């Protein structure tokens, strides 16, 4: 297909989706025209350097898949003080093989409370405390020379109550008011019956009374975050323009925050509607037309079944996001660890959807938010729900025998399961450099992140096994909820020790041990794990396996995880007998009679010789690629 044909098709696709959203040909037509004008204006503005990048990526549409990218996520101030300061961290990032840097919101944010910058006051200006637009441009260029792509949040669902639209709306400007949802008390109550509570304790309810307007404004998150009204095409046009403007400052990927919430419909939970997908597909079309090297990543923390549509695989089919967070596997990993039973992960992997080779997951174990348990609820029966309650109590340290030191998030009592906060090392109870079992649990979860064929993402501080944030009086941000527990400043001493080879060799630094673990996983992943995305994983299930065992094949490598505190046996049936354990280099493992794993042990097994059928068990192993 010629470039002109592709362009024409994308424009038609855009038009079609606008029609689906607005159901009115005049509105769809004028929105189409406006979006194409935005595209033309921003395409002209794009530099030669960025256009070159676009051209390369168009020719290599799976450039971000397989084992090519590794991500790192951090708050700018916590990580490096300012955007300028990030330069000095590049060697650290490169030492891990990171080539995708997600900096949490750095655009002009609400003064005072801002939900960590997720209440944006001005999308086109860098937060002055963190730098200038020029600093952003300089940073994206510098990162690019090191092969690192910068990802920025694009908070699609809401703006700060100090954003120009909100301010004008308060003053009675009708056009500005049209950017938001307004309801009277009856409508509010009708909606509330069906809506979830994201912050039930610190921001109960989904609406805020605005005295000047004498109405309630929709506000899913904190009351200073006003939801945008996408049934008004002006919102979509403005956000598309914002996206491309930031892309032209060198941002190469966008984390589309709260992507599930964009469309509201009475009598529903107002999440994951088809319109929501059509809106994202419009943004994708705009990106494809004006900045095709840019990646879109869905931040949709929703149940497993609702996730594939963010890749455009649902009923509302079409090119949509390139990436999406695998939040179900993240939460399931913790659930399995607490319950010492890997069945849920086994099931989830078996049910992963077939994906096109130019889409993939972000695999992660922690991020700046809580471990959200709600995504798992639809998967679980009553007994498993009790196990979820247990997991939540376990990681907040309140279950007997728990090694974890997290806290529960937004839960009114011990049985209300909502979320859990804490840094990785404190949640897995890795006490010190001598604590082998704590390290085994850290390695177990991290190695699953690297093995599961998405883009592995490390959350800042976890690579140094940094512990929970201590109460920090005078912290530059006024955080109001317990997610602050896992938002510490990067520990400079730990960072220096981690890069000190002698500290590693002496075995007296936990941060050095953690960083070496990450570096080894990244090197091994890039060298040996070749599955292009999760659809290419082959699950190795056998009735002979201990329930705590998860085993699958990624490329040639057999990855085996023991989620239990007991020794666990496992019959591999992967067709080979002699393997090298890549995590214990030089160690040969004979799996003829199966494999015995230590508590929480992980093995990545590379076959040493040509296939020999393993006939030790009669049960066929269940592998998605073979059914």
Which residues form the interface with ligand OTU (CB under 6 A)? Answer: 115-116, 118, 155, 198, 221, 257-258, 260, 299-301, 368-370, 372, 419
Pick the closer one to ligand OTU by CB: 301 or 591: 301
Pick the closer one to ligand OTU by CB: 219 or 387: 219
Nearest to 591 by CA among 535, 545, 527, 536: 545
Tell me how far, at minimum, the Cβ of 486 lies from ligand OTU, in Å: 11
What φ, ψ does residue 104 adopt, rounded to 5°? -60, 170
Tell me how far, at minimum, the Cβ of 18 lies from ligand OTU, in Å: 24
Tell me how far, at minimum, the Cβ of 494 lies from ligand OTU, in Å: 24
Tell me how far, at minimum, the Cβ of 608 lies from ligand OTU, in Å: 44
Residue 242 three-state SS: helix
Rounded CA-CA distance 270/267 in Å is 8
Pick the closer one to ligand OTU by CB: 76 or 90: 76
362 sits in which H/E element? strand 360-364
Tell me how far, at minimum, the Cβ of 188 lies from ligand OTU, in Å: 20
Q: At what angle do helices 327-339 and 343-350 cross, to 10 degrees?
A: 150
Pick the closer one to ligand OTU by CB: 34 or 208: 208
Three-point CA angle 47, 74, 337, nearest 5°: 130
Tell me how far, at minimum, the Cβ of 307 lies from ligand OTU, in Å: 12
Pick the closer one to ligand OTU by CB: 252 or 369: 369
What the block records as the tokens of 290 is 């004006």
Nearest to 175 by CA among 238, 232, 239: 232
Pick the closer one to ligand OTU by CB: 300 or 518: 300
Three-point CA angle 592, 594, 597, nearest 5°: 135
Tell me how far, at minimum, the Cβ of 418 lies from ligand OTU, in Å: 9
Pick the closer one to ligand OTU by CB: 313 or 367: 367
Pick the closer one to ligand OTU by CB: 447 or 482: 482
Sign of CA dihedral 122, 34, 245, 285: positive
Write out 387-426 in H/E/C secondary structure: HHHHHHHHHCCCCCCCCCCCEEECCCCCCCCCEEECCHHH
Tell me how far, at minimum, the Cβ of 222 lies from ligand OTU, in Å: 7
Pick the closer one to ligand OTU by CB: 252 or 481: 481
Tell me how far, at minimum, the Cβ of 257 lies from ligand OTU, in Å: 5
Residue length of the chain:
627
Write out 549-560 in H/E/C secondary structure: EEEEEECCEEEE
Residue whose tokens read 């450099």: 433
DSSP bridge partners of 421: 407
Rounded CA-CA distance 75/79 in Å is 6
Pseudo-torsion of CA 247, 252, 257, 261, nearest 10°?
Answer: 70
DSSP bridge partners of 565: none
Tell me how far, at minimum, the Cβ of 235 lies from ligand OTU, in Å: 16
Pick the closer one to ligand OTU by CB: 97 or 372: 372
Residue nearest to ligand OTU (CB): 118
């Amino acid at each position: 297909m010629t470039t002109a044909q592709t362009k024409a098709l994308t424009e038609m696709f855009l038009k079609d989706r606008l029609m689906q959203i607005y159901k009115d040909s005049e509105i769809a037509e004028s929105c189409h025209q406006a979006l194409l004008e935005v595209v033309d204006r921003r395409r002209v503005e794009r530099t030669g350097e960025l256009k070159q990048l676009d051209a390369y990526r168009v020719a290599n549409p799976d450039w971000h898949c397989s084992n090519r990218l590794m991500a790192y996520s951090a708050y700018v101030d916590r990580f490096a003080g300012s955007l300028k300061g990030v330069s000095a961290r590049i060697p650290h990032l490169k030492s891990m093989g990171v080539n995708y840097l997600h900096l949490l919101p750095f655009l002009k944010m609400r003064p005072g409370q801002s939900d960590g910058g997720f209440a944006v006051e001005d999308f086109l200006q860098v937060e002055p405390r963190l730098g200038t637009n020029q600093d952003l441009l300089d940073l994206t260029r510098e990162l690019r020379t090191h092969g690192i792509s910068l990802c920025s949040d694009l908070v699609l669902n809401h703006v700060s109550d100090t954003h120009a639209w909100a301010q004008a709306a308060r003053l009675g400007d009708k056009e500005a008011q049209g950017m938001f949802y307004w309801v009277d008390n009856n409508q509010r109550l009708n909606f509330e019956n069906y809506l979830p509570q994201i912050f039930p304790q610190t921001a109960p309810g989904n609406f805020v009374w605005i005295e000047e307007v004498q109405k309630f404004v929709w506000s899913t998150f904190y009351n200073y975050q006003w939801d945008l009204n996408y049934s008004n095409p002006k919102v979509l046009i403005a956000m598309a323009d914002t996206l491309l403007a930031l892309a032209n400052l060198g941002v190469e990927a966008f984390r589309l925050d709260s992507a599930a919430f964009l469309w509201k419909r009475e009598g529903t939970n107002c999440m994951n509607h088809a319109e929501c997908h059509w809106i994202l597909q419009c943004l994708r079309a705009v990106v494809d037309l004006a900045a095709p090297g840019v990646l879109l990543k869905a931040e949709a923390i929703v149940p497993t079944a609702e996730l594939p549509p963010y890749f455009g695989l649902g009923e509302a089919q079409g090119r949509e996001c390139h990436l999406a967070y695998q939040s179900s596997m993240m939460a399931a990993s913790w659930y399995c660890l607490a319950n010492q039973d890997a069945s849920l992960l086994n099931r989830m992997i078996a049910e992963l959807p077939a994906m096109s080779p130019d889409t993939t997951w972000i695999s992660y174990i922690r991020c700046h938010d809580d471990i959200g348990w709600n995504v798992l609820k639809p998967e679980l029966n009553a007994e498993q729900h009790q196990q979820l309650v247990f997991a939540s109590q376990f990681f907040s340290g309140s279950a007997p025998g728990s090694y974890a030191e997290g806290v529960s998030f937004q839960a009114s009592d011990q049985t209300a399961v909502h979320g859990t906060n804490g840094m990785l090392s404190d949640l897995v109870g890795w006490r010190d450099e001598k604590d082998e079992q704590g390290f085994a649990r850290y390695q177990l979860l991290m190695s699953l992140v690297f093995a599961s064929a998405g883009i592995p993402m490390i959350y800042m501080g976890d690579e140094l096994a940094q512990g929970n944030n201590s109460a920090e009086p005078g912290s530059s941000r006024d955080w109001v909820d317990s997610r602050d527990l896992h938002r510490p400043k990067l520990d400079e001493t730990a960072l220096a020790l981690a890069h000190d080879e002698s500290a590693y060799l002496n075995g007296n630094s936990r941060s050095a041990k953690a960083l070496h673990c990450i570096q080894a996983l990244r090197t091994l992943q890039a060298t040996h794990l070749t599955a292009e995305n999760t659809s290419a994983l082959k699950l190795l299930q056998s009735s002979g396996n201990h329930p705590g065992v998860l085993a699958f094949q990624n490329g040639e490598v057999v990855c085996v995880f023991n989620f239990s505190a007991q020794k666990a046996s496992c019959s591999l049936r992967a067709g080979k007998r002699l393997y090298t354990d890549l995590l214990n280099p030089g160690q040969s493992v004979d799996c003829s009679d199966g494999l015995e794993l230590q508590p929480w042990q992980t093995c990545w097994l590379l076959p040493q010789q040509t296939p020999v059928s393993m006939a030790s068990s009669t049960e066929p192993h269940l592998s998605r690629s073979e059914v």
